[in-house]
Amino acid sequence: MYRKNDNGQAMDPAEVTPCGAARPSSEPVLEMSFEVGHYDFAAAGEAASKIKQVLRKLGMAPDVVRRAAVAAYEAEMNLVIHSVGGSILLHVDTEKVTLVSCDEGPGMPDISLAMKEGYSTAPDEIREMGFGAGMGLPNMKRCSDSFSIESEVGRGTTVTASIRIA
């Protein structure tokens, strides 16, 4: 078992993910956690890039690596743009790659609207950077074999996406 955070420090196996979401219950082959800061565009994408490298090193099929990397990148950009900051947990077991993205707010008032392709609350300055297509969550779902969102205004959002290892 290999378990560490992005700073390479050992993680307590019993703890929840860094922002409080429930950790997947299966025994991990590998687990890593990445902190993502609000509006930290300089570092945005680094977690997804690292996740892609790690999965490739594990010898995963290229399609699994790509889908996980895209889902992780969309999750990361959502945290950067829309949250007050949060974290992404990468949890790999013998059957699947699971990504748990969670934040501490602001939370989404209407999940079904957020899942609608083309719907975005991103401000103009974000759209000018090429984001805000309203495809982030739908893209994550499209890349995943199972996908769920829990959100509460004032508390935060947890998005869980799993990709089966072929």
Partner 1 sequence: MKLADIRDLLGAEVLVGEDKLSTVEIDMACGSDLISDVLAFCHDNTLLCTGLVTAQIVRTAEIAGLSTIIFVRGKRPEESVIEMGRAAGIPMLATDLPLFETCGLLFRAGVGGIRLCADGSSRSGEI
Interacting residues toward partner 1 by CB under 8 A: 41-42, 44-45, 48-49, 52, 62-63, 66-67, 69-70, 72-74, 77, 129-136, 138-139, 142-143
> If you write DSSP's letter for every residue of 27-63 in order, what string do you get?
PPSEEEEEEEETT-TTTTTHHHHHHHHHHHHTT--HH
Burial of 37 (0-12, 13-18, 19+ CB in 10 A): middle
Cβ proximity to partner 1, 11 vs 135, nearer residue: 135
Output the six-digit token pair for 102. 């969670």
CB of 12 to partner 1, least distance (A): 30
CB of 132 to partner 1, least distance (A): 8
Cβ proximity to partner 1, 70 vs 111, nearer residue: 70
Output the six-digit token pair for 146. 């199972």
Cβ proximity to partner 1, 92 vs 140, nearer residue: 140
CB of 96 to partner 1, least distance (A): 15
CB of 83 to partner 1, least distance (A): 17
Which residues, other chains included, contact 19 with Cβ-Cβ below 8 Å and sequence gap of 6+?
86, 87, 102, 103, 104, 156
State the distance between the two ends of the chain, measured CA to CA, in whole angstroms: 21
CB of 48 to partner 1, least distance (A): 5
Cβ proximity to partner 1, 23 vs 149, nearer residue: 149
Cβ proximity to partner 1, 23 vs 161, nearer residue: 161
What DSSP designation does 10 have?
B
